[in-house]
Chain A
Amino acid sequence: MIKAILIFNNHGKPRMSKFYEHYTEDTEQQIIRETFHLVSKRDENVCNFLEGGLLIGGSENKLIYRHYATLYFVFCVDSSESELGILDLIQVFVETLDKCFENVCELDLIFHLDKVHNILAEMVMGGMVLETNMSEIITQVEAQGKMEKSERLQDVFVEFSHQDLLDFYNQMEMIQTQLTR
């Protein structure tokens, strides 16, 4: 069973956190900090598994993580999950995010926290893997997205349309590439 899914950036700022077991508010923050501390000091060329810290349940649990550019994706799982299986699940999750946001970047996660959660809810439900098939996940998310769109059309004057957002992202990407040069 998956105990928690955490996304934080290179500075340890949480970008998304989802706990499938109950912890107090303070413990949750401590877990995020401890996990960041454990994960961030590991080199790029070591394995993606870490045997659990004290907080998230001791030796029964493992941390499985992947590091993409500015973001760490960490899954805390118990011994009943396959390590490599989860590792690829993270890959599926990221690829799905990439499809849904068209080239996902950290900003997408910040601005669309709720959408990220909704995508995740289609993959993992109550700590169990629900769906690993990317196209199926996207279908479900889009079915919900359609409603959103239809609502958007109604108040097109007050909110941006999807196209606006796209333009915005394109523009932002331009700025980014200029800055990195």
Chain B
Amino acid sequence: MSDVVEKTLTALPGLFESQTGAAKITNRLRQLIKSITELTSKHEEENLIKRELSAIKEQVSSPNTTMKQMREIMVRAMYCEMLGYDASFTYIHAIKLAQQGGVLEKRVGYLAVSLFLNEGHELLLLLVNTVLKDLQSTNLIEVCMALTVVAQVFPKDMIPAVLPLVEDKLSHPKEIIRRKAVLALYKFYLIAPNQVQHIHAKFCKALSDKDPGVMASSLHIYLQLIRESPDSYKDLTGSFVTILKQVLGGKLPVDFNYHSVPAPWLQIQLLRILSLLGKEDQSTSELMYEVLDESLRRAEMNHNITYAILYECVKAVYTIHPKAELLEKAARCIGNFVLSPKINLKYLGLKALTYVVQHDAKLALQHQMTIIECLDHSDFTIKRETLELLFRITNAQNVTVIVEKMLDFLRSCNDEHTIIHLIGKVAELAEKFAPDNSWFIQTMNDVFSIGGDLLQQDVPNNFLRLLAEGSESKEEDDQLRLYAVESYLTVLKGHTSHLPQCFLQVMSWVLGEYAHLQESVDRREVIRLLTQLLDQRSVSSETRVWILSALTKIPEGQTDLILDLAESLSSSQDTVLRQQAQELRHLSQDSQLREWVLPRGAPWDGIEVDSSLSFLDGFVSEALAAGAAPYKPPHQRQEELCEDRALNLEPYSFSLPVSLSSCSITDRQSPTLLSVSSGLSGNSAELSQKAGSSTLILEGVKRVWGKDGYLPQKEATAPPVDEPSAAVQPASQQEAAERIEPRPEPSTQNQDKQQLASSLFVGLGVGSSVSLLGKSEAPPPRFRKKPRPHESSSSSGTSKRSSDSSSHSSRNTTDSFLYGSFPEEEPATSISTFDHTPKSTTANGLSQNKDTKEDRHANTSQILGGDMVIVRPSTIQDKHPPSVSSDLTALLPADLKDLPHSDVISLTSDPSLSLSSCRLFRDEALLLVIFISNCTETVIKDVAVQLTCEELKTASLRGNVMDCLEARSTSVCHYALLMDDPHTNVSLTGTVSYQTQPGHTNTLPFSGTLSTADFIRPLVVTTEEYGKLWLSLSHDVKQNLKLLTDAGDPLRTTLNALKDALQLHVVDIIGSEGIVACRLLSGAPCLLHCRVNGAALAMWLRSPHPALPDFILYHCQRALAHH
């Protein structure tokens, strides 16, 4: 076919010969394309494009080039860029074309801009005015173009400039403009949610627009909003159901039909929205049963697109609160998918099954033969999806077969991404369901040799940690270790050059640590095998370090061998190796020192790392005394740098990016790297050992996240560990086999597959109920790790969560420093925090005419402003009317009584318990006090409160576990909440478990929302300090706010209103300008500079934190709007 194209192209010139004059330019493109098509090698292409680019360069800089020629040139430049050549010199001309040309030129100019420039490109600044002009143009096409380019490339800091104009377009008479404006706003929402907070009402108008197209595009926004907080939009369920009904009923214009299906894409969007709304909410789900049923019924199988709708529908049915009748229909639909001869539908069927087996493992059983066929399918994607499905139904009985299948697949697979993804799952399954030691070690060997160096670091780390920490029984642990040692010795005796580095590292660590368990093997043999590795060239220097440290640990007796080795390595090029060799030599000569440094069989938990490096203090002070420059933290360095800076490009300058991520890197480092860095200090041998082990522990904390990453489709709310095991019934192998035997049509050629089926689907019992109630007791994971404070205890199941474990898990998210700064009883801190209550801020001389009454007003408005359930007061407050029981505050502990606090609001209640909460504003944290009242006449036992919040650091300070709660009494527990990264609103969820009768545990869930405003504290600085700080901050945001004009001095009134609502500190007011400072708890400061600008307040915020100004601005807007 391509030679046809070429021949056609050679015939082209003949057709064009008649053209003359300006057509020459037009022909340049054709010539370019023609010559590109004729090229035979990459090299020729490069030369040609280079020539072309220099020709373009010449033309664009020539003053004689007309706009029209420029258009042509742009298309040529676009072509060169598409082929991957840099044509950046044309960017400025693209912008010029958009600025100066007529409509046609503009179109090419804008197109080039959106192709060439990305969101961060500095040239975009030049485009702002053009876009503003075009947004106001009367030519519809120009407005459309401007909206498109705005949605495509505009960065966060340029949005405020165009936002008002785009907003206006929402009420434009032409629907295409409205539709584009809605999408542009959606894009803004994705980039900078806070800047469009105020126009949510307009989104609502777009949803009820008379044009279905505009309505459809507003669904994009709602889908996103509802995904973020479904609770706030429950009231819209009815509207969405009605829209879907109308669409199904064919009420839309025929234009919207696609292959005679009414607006299929719209239906898909709506179904997604409904499933999000109905999730775990019975009453909302009930509203949509009818329309879902209708939708399932209407979608007759005739075209691809109806299947697309069906698929969404099935997913929705399984996501919302279950209804038996619908589930049955949906299950039948899945059958249609899975059994379809069309491969695309089969794929979706598998995907649906993967989703559904979490709720109903039975369905997989129904389709087992199809699944097995798919396992041998020639299509890579299908195979992979099948394995994903099998992963979900794995249990202790079928794990060997499934893992074998996965490993088979991985051996024949050469796609890196798939390997990384699946190998992690194999490791997870192996760890969770391993039937015996030998299988486990063997499987992990396969994992390491297949996954090799693609493996994510936490797989080997978890494995080593498991070996090291062991379970409760020491005997079993030693057996496992022994088996590992044996197996590795066998591996090392074989051919080792092809083994991946990561496997070698694991092996050398295990051998170093546990070789002594194997008494029958000579130490010399182990040492010989390890030294052999050192001689191989393919072994990386990092692995060499692992091997050497293993050799260091293999105990005494073989000094001669070791000394030889140390000798040979002490002249190595690699300094780290040399260092290790030195240590090796020293330790092997001094057995006492070794015993002290590397105690064998020492417990793992006790090792602690001095992360403050205080042992270096002496060294540092010596160095300082010797005249070394003191260490400056990065922000201080930046500050100084900033002061040197002469030019300040104010509006959009981002010249000082603060690298926030840099500190997290250390956590990811491998043990060796850490030991290397600490190896530079004096007492290195000891430290490197310590550091090595503690990195494992650090990795352990991260581990939960790692697992989340493996299962992207999983619901966020389901506890990660429960899920696969809970989907599985505790049926014994026999029962399951019985169930499989009576299957019909056991044709002879299917015998093998039948057999495979019975081994794969074993353990997926009959009676598994539709919804997961957590009743079923999964077979316990074989390698259950010791419970430790660092590990999430969610595996213990909700029903029997002991008070002990809940206190652990509430602690696990919090750094120990949190406890350090909040001792249980510490009146001293409570006094110091009192300094920043509203009272003290009024004392800074700004509020001259304030008396006690005013003061009280300030206090109450502050409490109201930061109401506990603040998201959408209209919808949520109704649900939890604040039952103000002021007497509850009397129960506050003495040391907290003086803190400023909010009203007490009721959280939840049931016949036996009622919960209310109150927030106390401390300087360095928000304290959340939960009052638990016993409403019955009997004693309630084992009350345990568990509070979780993903965005915040939480720490239980006191009283979250009680042995008993007397009748009609109230107990208080409180939590400290820290916010590191600002979020507009943070939702808290929690449960209280208690026993009314022994052995019968009730749980009572509760939830609430906090706003950033709760975490903002005044920052008391002087004007000079403010000035210095201002210069050092890099992230800024500007916006005009409403000015309160009802009193004499508008600026003062507005600032006071803000201060009352948000606990800001007004530093100074000079003329028409005011400066205000606050901070996020005791963390990042945020400085506000306010200036009266006509009828508005021009607010300019700066902070070292990139997102904080947006959030504070948002709350300021709210505060002023509510005033």
Q: Which residues of A contact B (CB under 8 A)?
A: 9-11, 14, 16-18, 20, 22, 25-26, 28-29, 38, 42-43, 45-54, 58-60, 69-70, 79-80, 82-85, 87-89, 92, 106-107, 110-111, 113-114, 117-118, 121, 125-133, 135-136, 140, 143-144, 147-148, 151, 155, 158-160, 168, 171-172, 175-176, 179-180
A43 and B183: CB pair below 8 A?
A: no
Which of A113, A126, A144 is the one whose CB lies under 8 Å from B82?
A: A113
> What A residues does B81 contact at CB under 8 A?
25
User: How many residues of chain B have a CB within 8 Å of chain A?
Assistant: 81
A107 and B8: CB pair below 8 A?
A: yes
Per the bound structure, the CA–CA distance linking A172 and B30 in Å amounts to 15
Chain A residue nearest to B112 (CB atoms) is A114
A22 and B120: CB pair below 8 A?
A: yes
B79 and A113: CB pair below 8 A?
A: yes
**Given contacts A147-B103, A179-B4, A84 and B381 within 8 Å (CB-CB):** no
B416 and A54: CB pair below 8 A?
A: yes
Per the bound structure, the CA–CA distance linking A125 and B255 in Å amounts to 21
Interface residues in B1-27 (C-beta closer than 8 Å to A): 1-2, 4-5, 7-8, 11, 15, 19-23, 26
Chain B 257-276 interface 0/1 with A at a Cβ cutoff of 8 Å (1 = within): 01000001100100000000
B2 and A11: CB pair below 8 A?
A: yes
B421 and A59: CB pair below 8 A?
A: yes
Per the bound structure, the CA–CA distance linking A129 and B264 in Å amounts to 13
Per the bound structure, the CA–CA distance linking A45 and B20 in Å amounts to 50
**Given contacts A47-B344, A114-B78, A136-B255, A175 and B8 within 8 Å (CB-CB):** yes
Per the bound structure, the CA–CA distance linking A171 and B5 in Å amounts to 13
Question: A159-B23, A171-B15 are known contacts; what are 16 more A-B pairs with Cβ within 8 Å?
Answer: A14-B83, A18-B115, A25-B81, A25-B84, A69-B1, A84-B348, A87-B304, A113-B78, A114-B111, A125-B148, A128-B220, A130-B183, A136-B213, A158-B20, A168-B15, A179-B4
Per the bound structure, the CA–CA distance linking A102 and B85 in Å amounts to 31
Taking the nearest CB of chain B, how far is it from the CB of A148, in angstroms?
A: 6
Which of A45, A83, A176 is the one whose CB lies under 8 Å from B343?
A: A45
Q: Which residues of B contact A (CB under 8 A)?
A: 1-2, 4-5, 7-8, 11, 15, 19-23, 26, 29-30, 33, 75, 78-79, 81-84, 86, 103-104, 107-108, 111, 115, 118-120, 140-141, 144, 148, 151-152, 176, 179-180, 183-184, 186-187, 213, 217, 220, 223, 255-256, 258, 264-265, 268, 304-305, 307-308, 311-312, 343-344, 346-348, 378-382, 384, 415-418, 421, 712-713
Per the bound structure, the CA–CA distance linking A159 and B4 in Å amounts to 26
Taking the nearest CB of chain B, how far is it from the CB of A116, in angstroms?
A: 10
> What A residues does B82 contact at CB under 8 A?
14, 16-17, 113
Q: Which of A89, A114, A151, A176 has the most CB of B within 10 A?
A: A114
> What B residues does A46 contact at CB under 8 A?
343, 378-382
A110 and B712: CB pair below 8 A?
A: no
B344 and A110: CB pair below 8 A?
A: no
> What A residues does B304 contact at CB under 8 A?
84, 87-88
Per the bound structure, the CA–CA distance linking A118 and B106 in Å amounts to 12
A51 and B84: CB pair below 8 A?
A: no
Question: Can you list 18 A-B pairs, Cβ within 8 angstroms, ordered by A?
Answer: A11-B2, A20-B152, A43-B379, A46-B378, A46-B379, A47-B347, A53-B415, A84-B304, A84-B308, A87-B344, A88-B305, A125-B180, A128-B183, A131-B213, A133-B256, A133-B258, A158-B20, A168-B15
A82 and B26: CB pair below 8 A?
A: no
B347 and A25: CB pair below 8 A?
A: no
B2 and A10: CB pair below 8 A?
A: yes
Which of A25, A60, A111 is the one whose CB lies under 8 Å from B712?
A: A60
Per the bound structure, the CA–CA distance linking A47 and B33 in Å amounts to 33
Taking the nearest CB of chain B, how far is it from the CB of A31, in angstroms?
A: 11
A111 and B30: CB pair below 8 A?
A: yes
B1 and A84: CB pair below 8 A?
A: no
Closest 9 CB pairs of A and B: A84-B308, A126-B151, A46-B379, A22-B118, A29-B84, A47-B343, A47-B347, A158-B22, A54-B417
Which of A17, A51, A53 is the one whose CB lies under 8 Å from B381?
A: A51
Taking the nearest CB of chain B, how far is it from the CB of A36, in angstroms?
A: 13
Which of B1, B23, B103, B179 is the one whose CB lies under 8 Å from A10?
A: B1
Which of B29, B84, B141 is the one whose CB lies under 8 Å from A28?
A: B84
> What A residues does B26 contact at CB under 8 A?
159
Per the bound structure, the CA–CA distance linking A133 and B75 in Å amounts to 28
**Given contacts A85-B308, A88-B305, A125-B180, A147 and B104 within 8 Å (CB-CB):** yes
A135 and B255: CB pair below 8 A?
A: yes
A144 and B417: CB pair below 8 A?
A: no
Per the bound structure, the CA–CA distance linking A54 and B305 in Å amounts to 29
> What A residues does B104 contact at CB under 8 A?
147-148, 151
Taking the nearest CB of chain A, how far is it from the CB of B557, in angstroms?
A: 48
> What A residues does B348 contact at CB under 8 A?
83-84
> What A residues does B213 contact at CB under 8 A?
131, 133, 136
Per the bound structure, the CA–CA distance linking A84 and B382 in Å amounts to 15
A143 and B141: CB pair below 8 A?
A: yes
> What A residues does B344 contact at CB under 8 A?
47-49, 83-84, 87
B265 and A113: CB pair below 8 A?
A: no
**Given contacts A46-B378, A52-B417, A25 and B86 within 8 Å (CB-CB):** yes
Taking the nearest CB of chain A, how far is it from the CB of B78, in angstroms?
A: 6
B141 and A176: CB pair below 8 A?
A: no
A9 and B2: CB pair below 8 A?
A: yes
Per the bound structure, the CA–CA distance linking A84 and B309 in Å amounts to 9
B29 and A111: CB pair below 8 A?
A: yes
Which of A42, A49, A110 is the one whose CB lies under 8 Å from B33?
A: A110
Taking the nearest CB of chain B, how far is it from the CB of A93, in angstroms?
A: 13
A70 and B2: CB pair below 8 A?
A: yes
> What B residues does A155 contact at CB under 8 A?
22
B258 and A160: CB pair below 8 A?
A: no
> What A residues does B2 contact at CB under 8 A?
9-11, 70
A118 and B311: CB pair below 8 A?
A: no
B111 and A107: CB pair below 8 A?
A: no
Chain B residue nearest to A130 (CB atoms) is B183
B265 and A176: CB pair below 8 A?
A: no
Which of B264, B343, B418 is the one whose CB lies under 8 Å from A88?
A: B264
Per the bound structure, the CA–CA distance linking A121 and B179 in Å amounts to 13
> What B residues does A38 contact at CB under 8 A?
415
Per the bound structure, the CA–CA distance linking A126 and B598 in Å amounts to 59
Taking the nearest CB of chain A, how far is it from the CB of B906, in angstroms?
A: 37
Per the bound structure, the CA–CA distance linking A51 and B379 in Å amounts to 12
Chain A residue nearest to B15 (CB atoms) is A168
Per the bound structure, the CA–CA distance linking A155 and B217 in Å amounts to 40
> What A residues does B29 contact at CB under 8 A?
111
> What B residues does A82 contact at CB under 8 A?
268, 308, 311-312
> What B residues does A53 contact at CB under 8 A?
415, 417
A128 and B264: CB pair below 8 A?
A: no
A43 and B378: CB pair below 8 A?
A: yes
> What A residues does B268 contact at CB under 8 A?
82, 85
Per the bound structure, the CA–CA distance linking A164 and B22 in Å amounts to 17
Per the bound structure, the CA–CA distance linking A96 and B33 in Å amounts to 24
Per the bound structure, the CA–CA distance linking A44 and B264 in Å amounts to 26
A79 and B21: CB pair below 8 A?
A: no
> What B residues does A69 contact at CB under 8 A?
1
Taking the nearest CB of chain B, how far is it from the CB of A7, in angstroms?
A: 10
Per the bound structure, the CA–CA distance linking A117 and B381 in Å amounts to 30
**Given contacts A22-B119, A51-B418, A158 and B19 within 8 Å (CB-CB):** yes
**Given contacts A88-B304, A126-B152, A158-B23, A49 and B381 within 8 Å (CB-CB):** yes
> What B residues does A126 contact at CB under 8 A?
148, 151-152, 183-184, 187
